[in-house]
């Protein structure tokens, strides 16, 4: 989880990722941010994120992103 | 066989009778037979192409699926003995083989499509190059292929399936005949919608019971589609063609009117054809994906493309945009640019260096979005036709979307500065108006001979407004007064129903009315199509504009 938060801080350091649950819904992240975060996640965790994972629910909070990473690591 | 012909009406009626007489469990077989009979009407030779696509996609999906099963079994068997790294390396090996099979399938099928669609376009350029460079006049002859019916649509649908199987999105279809039905389902083969396997397959293979209300509902949808196609689109077609052909003589408002009417024509034509497809499928108990969601009420170009030809848009998004955007190479390119900027100009630089630093950071961030988006629009343009004007049309869309995205912060600041109500009626109307006309002006490429001619037509719009005389529209531009009035009323009706539809299905509302009123509404619709449908001289009901794509 710490690594995920570190990646997210690299994009928007001002956000409290422990509590924020509307990263997409509140338009804190734009599409450019999401794609760049996905790139970092794929590199860091050696996972493959595809079109079907690109839904707001997977990126609305650090926790959701971490859950996605865990799911893909297990696959 | 055209959607709008007595032959098609008889064909659907006969297919419906056989479908509902057949044992419920095997009704999908009737759909397959009907789809192949329908396809046969377009020319028996065309079968070769659709069969190659069906068989090659089925086999590639089978091989990819088998590799997946092999991996599952191997990992299950060696669950305890393999380390995490060994598992990863094994999976990477399997993925590589699956990718190779996918590439073969995609190359075969898109290879056929590209060859048939772009052979002459390429030959023209090769000839031009040989002439200008070497002075050679022994031109390579054109192939003059006639595109097999629906090849763009069924190829996209089949390739979407193959990619989904590669990503493990669904279990592959094991029955080649059922898969053949997925590729060839006749209501959607001419101009879509482009369906996804996960959505369409269960609809096609499920056991359907006879339901009179569903058939009636489908019939309503078909008639509404015919209304849009015959009463609006076909009535306006001649005016649009005539005006564009004589644009030197009829400038200003004549062209502006042609641009407006062409937007109505193409919407009536394409969405009307889709209504027919969805309605016919509904009669067989098959629910197809919607392809339009009141696109002319969109407030931005991005939104417009989420509401016009939605199934093609999502196809491009899922199979071109995201695979490119999430490609490690493209993401790395963006990152390299940002790192280079940081190293060269420094994070805390000042003046021009600060500007360069900011530019490299912003550009690096945008590369993984804008390069794939450029590819999507280039491909969308090419998909519409092998002519430069379509490519230019696609690239203009790309430029407008990029400008819309980049200028959004300024637009929001202006709204704030002038205390405008973003959610208010006036702002929404302004955005809808702006989007409608931007998209309409871009369609000039569609109705012009070539790119220079399109720019010329655009220039002409702003000249000689004073010379407009409606009599010329009636008498010299193939839209007699009666037809003009019918077209305007029909367009108004179409938009009123579009607006009503915002609050739910119009047909469901009709079906809640007393039975005599329901029948009266249907009779009105049938009468409107029969009486006001445009069956003028030289009229060819078969030619749906999107059928040619």
How large is the average pLDDT for residues B341-348?
87
CB B61 within 8 A of CB B172: yes
Given a cut of 90, is residue A46 above it in pLDDT?
no
DSSP string covering A28-70 = SS-HHHHHHHHHHHHHHHT----GGG-SGGGTSSHHHHHHHHH
DSSP state, B148? P
* Band of pLDDT at residue B543, cut at 50, 70 and 90: low
Given a cut of 90, is residue A48 above it in pLDDT?
no
**So what's the pLDDT on residue B538?**
47
**So what's the pLDDT on residue B9?**
93
* CATH hierarchy code of domain A2-74: 1.10.1200.10
Residues of chain A neighbouring B334 (CB-CB closer than 8 A):
36, 39
In whole numbers, what is the pLDDT of chain B averaged over residues? 91
Given a cut of 50, is residue B273 above it in pLDDT?
yes
* Band of pLDDT at residue B532, cut at 50, 70 and 90: confident
CB B325 within 8 A of CB B359: no
**So what's the pLDDT on residue B183?**
96
CB proximity A36 to B under 8 Å = yes
Higher pLDDT, A69 or B121: A69
How large is the average pLDDT for residues B193-201?
94
Model pLDDT for residues B383-434, shown as the tens digit of each residue: 888 788 999 999 999 999 999 989 988 988 998 888 888 888 999 999 999 9
Q: Best interface-test mutation with B: which of A12, A27, A35 has the largest number of B CBs within 10 A?
A: A35
* Band of pLDDT at residue B297, cut at 50, 70 and 90: very high
Given a cut of 70, is residue B243 above it in pLDDT?
yes
Model pLDDT for residues B129-140, shown as the tens digit of each residue: 999 888 888 889
Q: How many angstroms separate the CA atoms of B480 and B47, rounded?
A: 43
Residue B31 CB contacts under 8 Å (≥ 6 apart), including other chains: B15, B19, B181, B185, B186, B204, B284, B286
In whole numbers, what is the pLDDT of chain A averaged over residues? 90
How large is the average pLDDT for residues B98-106?
96
| Overall pTM > 0.90 | no
- Percent of chain B clearing pLDDT 70 (strictly above): 97
Structure token digits, residue A49: 């994120």
- Percent of chain B clearing pLDDT 90 (strictly above): 64
CB proximity B342 to A under 8 Å = no
How large is the average pLDDT for residues A31-39?
89
Q: Per the CB < 8 Å rule, is B322 touching A50?
A: yes
- Say which of A31, A46, A52 has its CB closest to residue B369: A31
B328-345 and A31-45 helices cross at what angle (nearest 10)? 100
Residues of chain B neighbouring A33 (CB-CB closer than 8 A):
365
Those of residues 1-30 in A touching chain B at CB distance below 8 A are none
* B290 conformational bin, left if phi > 0, alpha if psi -120 to 50, beta if neither: beta
How large is the average pLDDT for residues B42-53?
90
Please tell me the least confidently modeled range out of B154-168, B227-241, B277-291, B327-341: B327-341
CB B73 within 8 A of CB B220: no
**So what's the pLDDT on residue B487?**
94
DSSP state, B160? H
Structure token digits, residue B344: 């060269």
Q: Per the CB < 8 Å rule, is A32 touching B366?
A: yes
Structure token digits, residue B420: 């405008």
Given a cut of 80, is residue B296 above it in pLDDT?
yes
How large is the average pLDDT for residues B91-98?
92
Q: How many angstroms separate the CA atoms of B50 and B185, rounded?
A: 12
Q: Per the CB < 8 Å rule, is A51 touching B318?
A: yes
CB B280 within 8 A of CB B222: yes
Residue B236 CB contacts under 8 Å (≥ 6 apart), including other chains: B261, B262, B264, B265, B268, B479, B487
Q: Which of B457, B468, B547 is nearest to B150 (CA)?
A: B547
DSSP string covering B70-133 = HHHHHHHHTTTT--HHHHHHHHHHHHHHHHHHHHHHHHHHHHHHHHHHHHHHHHHHHHHHHHHH
* Band of pLDDT at residue B540, cut at 50, 70 and 90: low
CB B435 within 8 A of CB B233: no
Residue B270 CB contacts under 8 Å (≥ 6 apart), including other chains: B191, B292, B309, B544, B545, B546
Q: Model ipTM?
A: 0.83
Given a cut of 70, is residue B544 above it in pLDDT?
no
Structure token digits, residue B288: 């197809």
CA atoms within 13 A on the CB side of B240: 23
**So what's the pLDDT on residue B536?**
56
Structure token digits, residue B419: 């205390």
Q: Best interface-test mutation with B: which of A29, A31, A36 has the largest number of B CBs within 10 A?
A: A36
Residues of chain A neighbouring B366 (CB-CB closer than 8 A):
32
Given a cut of 60, is residue A14 above it in pLDDT?
yes
- Nearest chain A residue to B363 by CA: give it: A32
Domain segments of chain A as ranges: 2-74
CB proximity B125 to A under 8 Å = no
- Nearest chain A residue to B371 by CA: give it: A32
Domain segments of chain B as ranges: 18-205, 212-292+472-548, 311-447
**So what's the pLDDT on residue B107?**
96
């Amino acid at each position: 989880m710490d690594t995920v938060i570190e990646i997210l801080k690299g994009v928007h350091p001002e956000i409290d990722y422990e509590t924020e649950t509307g990263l997409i819904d509140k338009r804190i992240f734009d599409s450019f941010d999401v794609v760049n975060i996905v790139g970092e996640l794929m590199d860091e965790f050696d996972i493959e994120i595809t079109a079907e994972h690109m839904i707001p629910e997977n990126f609305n909070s650090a926790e959701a992103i971490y859950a996605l990473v865990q799911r893909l690591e297990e696959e | 066989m055209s959607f709008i012909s007595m032959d098609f009406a008889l064909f659907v009626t006969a297919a419906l009778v056989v479908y509902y007489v057949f044992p419920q469990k095997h009704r999908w077989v009737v759909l397959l037979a009907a789809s192949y009979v329908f396809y046969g009407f377009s020319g028996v030779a065309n079968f070769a192409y659709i069969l190659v696509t069906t068989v090659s996609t089925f086999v590639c999906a089978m091989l990819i699926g088998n590799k997946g099963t092999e991996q599952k079994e191997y990992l299950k068997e060696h669950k305890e003995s393999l380390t995490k790294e060994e598992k990863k390396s094994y999976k990477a090996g399997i993925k590589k083989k699956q990718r190779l099979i996918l590439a073969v399938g995609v190359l075969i099928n898109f290879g056929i499509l590209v060859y048939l669609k772009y052979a002459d376009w390429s030959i023209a350029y090769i000839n031009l190059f040989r002439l200008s460079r070497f002075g050679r006049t022994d031109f390579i002859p054109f192939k003059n292929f006639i595109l097999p019916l629906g090849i763009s649509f069924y190829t996209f649908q089949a390739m979407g399936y193959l990619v989904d199987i590669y990503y493990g999105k669904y279990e592959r279809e094991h029955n080649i005949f059922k898969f053949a039905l997925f590729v060839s389902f006749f209501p959607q083969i001419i101009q879509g919608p482009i369906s996804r396997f996960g959505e369409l397959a269960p609809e096609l293979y499920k056991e359907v019971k006879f339901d009179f209300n569903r058939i009636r509902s489908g019939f309503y949808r078909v008639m509404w589609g015919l209304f849009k196609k015959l009463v609006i689109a076909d009535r306006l077609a001649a005016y649009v063609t005539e005006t564009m052909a004589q644009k030197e003589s009829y400038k200003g408002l004549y062209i502006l009117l042609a641009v407006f009417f062409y937007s109505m024509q193409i919407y009536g034509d394409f969405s009307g054809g889709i209504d027919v497809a969805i309605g016919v499928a509904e009669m067989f108990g098959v629910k197809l994906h919607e392809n339009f969601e009141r696109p002319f009420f969109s407030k931005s170009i991005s939104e417009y493309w989420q509401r016009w030809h939605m199934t093609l848009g999502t196809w491009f998004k899922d199979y071109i945009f995201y695979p490119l955007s999430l490609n490690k190479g493209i993401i790395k390119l963006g990152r390299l640019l940002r790192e280079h900027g940081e190293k060269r100009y420094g994070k805390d630089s000042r003046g021009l260096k600060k500007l360069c630093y900011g530019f490299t950071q912003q550009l690096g961030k945008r590369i993984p979005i804008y390069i794939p988006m450029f590819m999507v629009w280039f491909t969308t343009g090419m998909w519409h036709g092998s002519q430069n004007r379509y490519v230019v049309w696609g690239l203009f869309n790309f430029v407008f979307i990029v400008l819309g995205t980049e200028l959004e912060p300024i637009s929001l600041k202006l709204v704030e500065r002038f205390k405008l109500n973003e959610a208010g009626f006036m702002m929404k109307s302004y955005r809808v108006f702006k989007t409608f006309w931007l998209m309409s002006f871009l369609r000039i490429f569609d109705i012009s001979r070539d790119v220079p001619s399109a720019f010329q037509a655009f220039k002409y719009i702003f000249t000689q407004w004073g010379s407009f005389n409606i009599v010329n529209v009636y008498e010299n531009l193939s839209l007699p007064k009666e037809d003009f009035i019918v077209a305007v009323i029909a367009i108004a009706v179409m938009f009123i129903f579009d607006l009503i539809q915002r609050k739910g299905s119009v047909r469901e509302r009709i079906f809640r009315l007393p039975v005599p009123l329901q029948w009266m509404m249907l009779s009105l619709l049938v009468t409107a199509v029969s009486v006001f449908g445009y069956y003028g001289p030289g009229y060819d009901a078969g030619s749906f504009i999107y059928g040619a794509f």
